[in-house]
Structure 1
Amino acid sequence: MIDTHAHIYADEFDQDRDQIITRALEQGIDKILMPNIDIHSIEPMLTTQALYPDVCHSMMGLHPCYVDNNVKKNLETIYSWFDKHSFIAVGEIGIDLYWDKTYQAEQESAFITQLNWAKEMSLPVVIHTRDSIEETLTLLRKEQDGSLSGVFHCFGGSLEQAKAINDLGFHLGLGGVSTFKNGGMDQVIPHLDINYLILETDCPYLAPVPHRGKRNEPAYTALVAQRIADLRQVSVEDIDTLTTHNARRLFSL
């Protein structure tokens, strides 16, 4: 099983990261994929990968919530890292209009810039959307030339949005929201295309039931898999096999 989106390098795990990794391995999660968020997360992320090189794999990108007046300089710094290190994806990138729309234009420009990096380097992208799926799809349709691939992480949208994402050749990352009783995903997950589904936690955020509201961790990927299996009325082994295959193919693992 693969946790395709985990901020395991975050300081929330500084006191017990070894135990967290061990619990993940015991649950059958043998790969943990780490998205970058800004220029300050690069060092802890790469340090974590160096400590657990067989388990943890890094991405490189600028998260939309960290786009501000310094976006041009920060993008230059982040781009320079592709010459220094091998990354599995450009991410996490995208648009977030939940908290603040002040830098929406800058977010959109940064998103397009990083999509072009992905084309240049033949890497998948990991997309963050919050209150912005339609805006993101509009931009992605313009940029998709057949070479872009990736995932809309933490998907919590409608079946129509899922189909639009899949039609562009993109996957859906399912995490803790899939287990929330009021999330509405119980009506969506049974009808999603299994060939475009991958698992994630987005830890330390969005812990699945029964740990909702607490710190999330990669081991809980198994709870997400079980929820999807229950909703689709198949075995958790089937979900593990299919989503692991999808993730390995998408990220060339």
Structure 2
Amino acid sequence: MLLTDTHTHIYYHADSNTLTQQMQRCFEKDIKRLFLPNVNSESIPAVMKTVATYPENCFPMLGLHPCDVKENYQQELAKIYEALQQHHVYAIGEIGLDLYWDKSTLEIQKDAFRTQVQWAKDMNLPIDIHCREAFDELFVLLKELKDTKLFGVLHCFTGDIHQAQHAIDLGFALGIGGVVTFKKAGLDEVVKQIDLQHIVLETDAPYLAPSPFRGKENESSYLYYVAQKVADIKEISIEKVAEITTENSKRIFGI
């Protein structure tokens, strides 16, 4: 069995025994492919150090997280673009829109998003999208930018079936994480109706730990519990879930 965590910030533990221990627990659970999105220019060194330590297992993404789109966002984008010239990456991310923390930055979030989508198109890369309380605004942007080169993952998807289908129609896979294990989230009903060909698995560690670890620090080894929940929903084996979702990740990220 081979499981893929398509979105983890495990690099927060770079240069520590915690990273070694968490990676070992991943291997014990057959989680051997991890995709690492940075959030701003300062997080790039930790991402790359983790990738260098586990080159067969960890794969980098680079982008500017919408919560880090501030007044200096153009300078931040310039630093990240420079890093893209120096490192081989597998996606532009995580990028997107977030209206949960700060609605006042929406217009510059959009500008940063457009810029980074163009990078992805120029480099023939997928994008990894963060969207929180901004589905309507995001879908308008994606329709504006849609062409044959726009594809990727809508990370940490927690929307309804209509939003799920809209994302799929726009060419995106859904990143399903720990929320699918939450009893009252309703995401299990959405997953039940979506073909596995449109789903990849993720943890978003250290955030959003699945049951039975809810409320504690998440880690990539907990992807096993996400996969098991999806298997239960689909009434198939966890091995089949691992096979299909890992193949989906290979198709999207090109590795």
Alpha carbons of structure 1 residues 13 and 132: separation in structure 2 relative to 1, 3 Å:
farther
Give the deviation of 1:40 after TM superposition. 0.7
Give the deviation of 1:139 after TM superposition. 0.2
Percentage of matched positions with identical amino acids: 45
User: What secondary structure is seen at the aligned counterpart in 1 of 2:129?
Assistant: strand
Give the deviation of 1:100 after TM superposition. 1.2
Which residue in the other structure is 1:30 paired with?
32
Alpha carbons of structure 1 residues 69 and 86: separation in structure 2 relative to 1, 3 Å:
same
Give the deviation of 1:15 after TM superposition. 4.2
Alpha carbons of structure 1 residues 177 and 12: separation in structure 2 relative to 1, 3 Å:
farther
From 192, 205, 208, the equivalent of 1:206 is 208
Contact 2:201 2:245 in 1 (8 A): yes
From 240, 246, 251, the equivalent of 1:249 is 251
Which residue in the other structure is 1:71 paired with?
73
Give the TM-score taking structure 1 as reference length: 0.98
Give the deviation of 1:14 after TM superposition. 3.5
Using the alignment, how far apart are the partners of 2:15 and 2:100 within structure 1? 26
Give the deviation of 1:121 after TM superposition. 0.5
Gaps of 5+ in 2: none
Give the deviation of 1:13 after TM superposition. 8.4
Gaps of 5+ in 1: none
Q: Which amino acid aligns with 1:104?
A: L
Are positions 1:91 and 2:120 aligned together? no
Q: Deviations over 1:132-182 (max 9, x none)?
A: 112111101110111111000000101111110000111000000010011
Contact 1:6 1:35 in 2 (8 A): yes
Give the deviation of 1:12 after TM superposition. 8.8
Q: Deviations over 1:24-81 (max 9, x none)?
A: 0110001110001001100111011111111111001000000000001110110111
RMSD over equivalenced CA pairs, Å: 1.1
Using the alignment, how far apart are the partners of 1:16 and 1:204 within structure 2? 12
Contact 1:8 1:34 in 2 (8 A): yes
Contact 1:178 1:224 in 2 (8 A): yes
Contact 1:12 1:204 in 2 (8 A): no
Using the alignment, how far apart are the partners of 1:123 and 1:136 within structure 2? 19
Using the alignment, how far apart are the partners of 1:231 and 1:76 within structure 2? 43
The runs of 4+ residues in structure 1 deviating greater than 2 Å are 11-15
Which residue in the other structure is 1:216 paired with?
218
Q: Deviations over 1:93-143 (max 9, x none)?
A: 000000111211110110111001111000000000000112111101110
Which residue in the other structure is 1:135 paired with?
137
Which residue in the other structure is 2:23 paired with?
21
User: What secondary structure is seen at the aligned counterpart in 2 of 1:82?
Assistant: helix
Give the deviation of 1:11 after TM superposition. 4.2
